[in-house]
Structure 1
Amino acid sequence: MDPLVGSTARETLERVSASLGCDPTDAEVAAHLDQHDPLRHLRDQFLVPKMKDLPPSDLSLVDGADECIYLVGNSLGLQPKTARKYLSFYKPTSGRHKILLEDKAFPSDHGEETLRTDDILEVIEKEGDSIAVVIFSGVQYYTGQLFNMAAITEAGQRKVTDTHFPKLQPGVSGFRLSNQPILLVCPLQASLEVFNMTSMQALRRKSLLLTGYLEYLIQHYYSEDPAQPHKAHVHIVTPSDPQQRGCQLSLSFSVPILKIFQELEKRGVACDMREPNVLRVAPVPLYNSFSDVHRF
């Protein structure tokens, strides 16, 4: 039986651990899942930094020759190896190697931790006649919530009054640019070649278990315990329903987050901190292993 197939991540982990005669939190489970992962070969298509390559790493705590635990797939992601081939014209020097971009390029959101789809649809229905534009990202960058874009789009379209849009080129041809940004196109080409080695169904199947495994371990070790009110704990901000999230889990802590982030960096963990109190962790099925999650 394929160890990556199961009704839920928890059921799969418990089934695998029972077959191995160990606990779901043991490293043997991660090793077994990696061994039977049909996508494990895709990791070889990416450049995984070593511990020593990350400046914050404390080499008294980790082996500099080991691969880092890279969990920033929600933001940057690892570089495909073939991107170098397409970017051969870019030759930074010791004198010219910096990149200039705007400060604070990410928006800030205020309100509840996550948005209820029913609330979104209710606002569209109530205020739709006065709404000119409805803008939603597919995944909320801070919480990792996956929005029901089909329902939101359908609700918005029911309130549309102006349907006299320009008669543009239909289909994908309408999105062509005469001069694509070459620095963006090269890594895109490399990444698409990797995606072409698998399918979205296979990636999603692994992602559900990979992120579910991360969720399982966090809840096992760091859930809030009413019997120990002073014990440090982690709250998962991202929806618990796998159908309402991607691979990212946004974590908030009962202790100051900056210290946690710094200690993770010292141990070669690449993740992402967002003020005021969220750590974003995203194991990517293309290149992250179950052992990465267990080590984290």
Structure 2
Amino acid sequence: MTYNSTKEFAQSLDQADELARFRESFTIPKHVDGTESIYLCGNSLGVQPKKAVEYVADELNDWAQLGVKGHFDKTFPWTRYHEFLTDSMAEVVGAKPHEVVVMNTLTPNLHFMMVSFYKPSGKRRKIVMEADAFPSDTYAVDSQIKWHGGNPAEDIILWQPRPGSSTLMMEDLETIFKNHGDEIALVMIASINYYTGQFFDLKKITELGHSHGAMVGFDCAHGAGNVDLKLHDSGADFAVWCTYKYMNSGPGSIAGCFVHERHADNDQINRFAGWWGHNKEERFLMKPKFDPIYGAEGWQQSNAPILSMAPIRASMELFMEAGFDNLLAKSKQLTNYLEYLIHNIEGDRIKIITPKDPKDRGCQLSLAVKDADKSLFETISDKGVIADWREPDVIRVAPVPLYNSYMDCWNFVQILAAAL
């Protein structure tokens, strides 16, 4: 598409957008003047689906009216509540339903997966990560290595950008494996780097890791609901993600987990077991020997947090109604349009460090601010923009296709240009 930077053009794109109606299904936070904020922070916390209020209220009411009987005697019984999210979640992350389970929160899921898939032995004990991984991933990997008696300073190999670049090159990861392939036990990389917004080729990374005998897992916190992950086709051994970003489940809410089907009934895999992962037919027979459910559900520990799951059910219904392929198509166009507008800002204080090729990114654009001291971010925030600042010098913005408009992008760039 050929873009132009007029307000009328942005309005025409919104008028032609068949997904524009979904914005009305969300509550957009208000600015101090009572108008809707320009909310471009879905990469950090998605906005609230209006039906989330209704669905949480339903569960509170059932709790009040039914008590313990709500586990069984209702339309969405609590013992099966996570199952009502499985099919839609599997579709969004590109997996088979038995490869996906909604459970726990993100970093606990990462730990549970590393219990099963990080198996250091002999000289094969190193973990490969991207150099600027999200801190929680780094803390988790550090602690797992220490738990196994290793030294993080020696047992972590960092995939680093080249001098003068922000993004990572596949050739450099190949070099790491060429030099250390027989020492690497696990590849643990984000699907999308939280800082730069770079979307990695999960299939190529997995094939590379497996060809050298390593297990491969991904933190998809910034990818799930944002890009076409194709987790099953990637061949990854496992993946984890949160749902409060692009899937709009609410602050600190429930997370998701993928385990490839080749591990679905492998009884040789260690795991931290709990009764919700036990054979459903015998769960309430209280048998002492653990019999895991086939697939990802077998990694569950405890019964589901229903009040956290209700909002994600509301959001996933909207994903299915809109169609994930349609959302991906709008995301690409919306992000391309925002990129075009930003490039038309005069001066050199803003540089987009997110890859230019749409196949190498989702809807997040990371804007490096020259001579940054956060004042620019504070200025645009005062004008009604809700974005995200990451030290030392990046403003992250994410035009989310479910609820953001082309006018959101246009208004943001007018505010940013004026502030500059």
Query: Which TM-score tier does this pair reach, normalised by the shorter chain?
Result: 0.7 to 0.9
Q: Summarize deviations over 1:232-256 as a string: whole Å, max 9, x none.
A: x211111111110000000111232
Instruction: Name the structure 2 match of 1:148.
Output: 201
Match of 1:97 in 2: none
Look up the equivalent residue of 1:43 and give its one-letter code.
R
The aligned residue for residue 216 of structure 1 is 340
User: CA–CA distance in 1 between the matches of 2:299 and 2:31?
Assistant: 41
**Which range moves more in the overlay, 25-34 or 158-167?**
158-167
Once the two structures are TM-superposed, the CA of residue 158 in structure 1 deviates from its matched residue by 1.2
Q: Give me the whole-angstrom Cα distance separating, in 1, the residues matched to 2:294 and 2:175.
A: 32
Letter in 2 for 1:202: N
The 3-state SS of whatever aligns with 1:135 is strand
Q: Which residue of 2 aligns with 1:31?
A: 11
What is the CA-CA distance between 1:220 and the residue it aligns to?
0.9
Match of 2:390 in 1: 274
1:151 and 1:200 map into 2 onto residues whose CA distance is: 23
Gaps of 5+ in 1: 1-11, 15-23, 53-63, 91-101, 225-232
- Aligned partners of 1:235 and 1:257: how far apart in 2? 15
Q: Secondary structure at the match of 2:10?
A: helix
Q: How does 1:75-224 map to 2 (within 5 A)?
A: 75-88=44-57, 106-107=134-135, 112=161, 113-160=166-213, 166-167=266-267, 169-174=293-298, 176=300, 178-222=302-346, 224=348
Q: Equivalents in 2 of 1:66, 1:202: separation in Å?
A: 28
- Aligned: 1:74 with 2:32: no
Which residue in the other structure is 1:44 paired with?
Answer: 24
Task: State, as a whole percentage, how many aligned pairs show the same letter.
Answer: 42
Contact 2:192–2:200 (CA<8 Å) still a contact in 1? yes
Q: Aligned partners of 1:171, 1:145: CA distance in 2, in Å?
A: 30
What TM-score do you get using the length of structure 1 for normalisation?
0.75
Q: Letter of the 2:34 partner, please give it.
A: A
Q: Which letter maps to 2:41? A: V
State the 1:175 CA deviation: 5.2
* Structure with a larger share of its residues in helix: 2
Does residue 412 of structure 2 align to residue 288 of structure 1?
A: no
* Offset of residue 185 of structure 1: 1.4
Deviating above 3 A after TM superposition, structure 1's stretches of 4 or more consecutive aligned residues are 108-112, 161-178
2: CA distance, partners of 1:207 / 1:161: 34
Contact kept in structure 2, 1:223 and 1:235, CA below 8 Å:
no
1:98: which partner in 2? none
Larger strand fraction of residues = 2
| 5+ long unaligned stretches in structure 2 | 61-106, 108-133, 139-157, 216-236, 238-261, 268-291, 413-420
TM-score (norm 2): 0.54
Partner of 1:13: 2
CA-atom RMSD, angstroms? 2.6
Provide closer, same or farther for how the CA distance between residues 67 and 181 of structure 1 changes in structure 2, counting only shifts above 3 A: same
Q: Are 2:369 and 1:253 equivalent residues in the alignment?
A: yes
* Cα distance in 2 for residues equivalent to 1:198 and 1:279: 29
**In the aligned structure 2, how far is the partner of 1:161 from the partner of 1:70?**
41
Secondary structure of 2:188 counterpart: coil
Bigger relative contact order, structure 1 or 2, given CA contacts below 8 A and separation 6+? Answer: 1
Preserved CA contact (<8 Å) 1:71 1:270: yes
Q: State the Cα distance separating 1:79 from its structure 2 match.
A: 1.0
Report if the CA contact (8 A) 1:49-1:67 is conserved. Answer: yes
Cα deviation, residue 188, structure 1: 1.3
On the 8 A contact 1:257/1:278 being kept in 2, the answer is no
Secondary structure at the counterpart of residue 250 of structure 1: strand
Give distance in 2, aligned partners of 1:175 and 1:203: 30
Amino acid in structure 1 at the alignment position of 2:44 = S
User: Does the CA-based 8 Å contact 2:41-2:397 persist in structure 1?
Assistant: yes
